[in-house]
Amino acid sequence: MTVSSEQALSILRDPSQFQWYLIPLLLVIIYIYHNEARLKNWSSIFAGLALWGCDWFNEIWNALVFHFTEFAPVWGAPAKTAYLILIGLNIEICMMFSIMGVACTIMLPEDRKLKILGVSNRWFFLVLFTTLAVIVEMILNALGALTWDYPWWSTRFPWLIWIAGYFYFFLVAFWVYDMKTIRAKAITVATILGIDLACLIVFMGVLKWI
C-alpha cells in the first residue's frame, strides 16, 4: 500500500475533520440551483446533476480499484479536507462537481447549430472544458492535493485522464442538456443517480469495500 493511500485511509469518513467553511459552500450550491429553478432553467439543473452523477460513478470504481489491488486507487485525495467521503473523493471535490455541470451548460449557446472556429459549439466547449479540467487536475497533482500512483494515469498519459476523467462527464451533461423533454432529462438523471446509490449501498454499506 502506498504512503498516500495510508494517509487517505487514516482520515476516511472521519467526522473530526469537519471545517465550518462547508456551510457557506453549501449555501452557494443551494443558491445556484435555486436561482436556476427560479429562472426555470431546468436543462442546466439536470445537466448539473448528470455530471455530478458521472463523477460519483468514477469515484466508486476508483475506490474499488484500491479495494481489489490493496495498493492504491487510480487517484487519491489524502490532503487536508473537511471530510473524505471515498479514498479519492473529498467533500470539497463533491461540492465542486455538483455545480460544474450547471456552470458549463449555462455558457452554451441556445443555437445548437452555431459554429465556433468552424466546429459545432457543443464540440468546441466539450474539448475546451475537458482540457481545462485536465490542466487543473495536473496542477492539483503537482501540489500534492491529488495523488497518482499508476504510470498509465499520469502526465505522461494525459489522454486517459482526458477521456475517462472528464470528457464523458461533459458529454453526458451536454447530452442531457439538449434532450427535448423534461421527462427524458429526469429519467436519465434518475437512472444515473440510481446506479450510483445502488453501488454505494452494496459496496460501501453492505460489503464495506469502499
Question: In which band, very low, low, confident or very high, does the pLDDT at 109 lie, cut at 50, 70 and 90?
Answer: very high
> What is the mean pLDDT of the segment spanning 71-84?
97
pLDDT confidence of residue 120:
95
Please compute the mean of the pLDDT values over residues 96-123 and round it to a whole number: 95
Sign of CA dihedral 148, 202, 168, 166: negative
Average pLDDT over residues 164-177: 97
**Helix, strand, or coil here: 67?**
helix
Confidence band of 209 (pLDDT split at 50, 70, 90): very high
pTM comes to 0.96
pLDDT of residue 125: 97
Q: What local confidence, expressed as pLDDT, does residue 180 receive?
A: 95
- Provide mean pLDDT across the span 86-113: 96
Is the Cβ–Cβ distance between 46 and 106 less than 8 Å? no
- Comparing CA positions, the residue from 95, 125, 102 lying closest to residue 112 is 125
Per-residue confidence (pLDDT) for residue 198, from 0 to 100: 98
DSSP E strands in 26-180: the ranges are 75-76, 84-86, 89-90, 115-116, 119-120, 147-148
Residues 16-48 pLDDT 10s: 999 999 999 999 999 999 999 999 999 999 999
DSSP state of 112: T
> Residue-wise over 151-174: b if at least 16 C-beta within 10 A, else e?
eebeeeebeebbeebbbbbbbbbb
Distance CA 62, CA 204 (A): 13
Query: For residues 165 and 37, what is the distance between their CA atoms, to the nearest angstrom?
Result: 28
Residue 16's pLDDT is what?
97
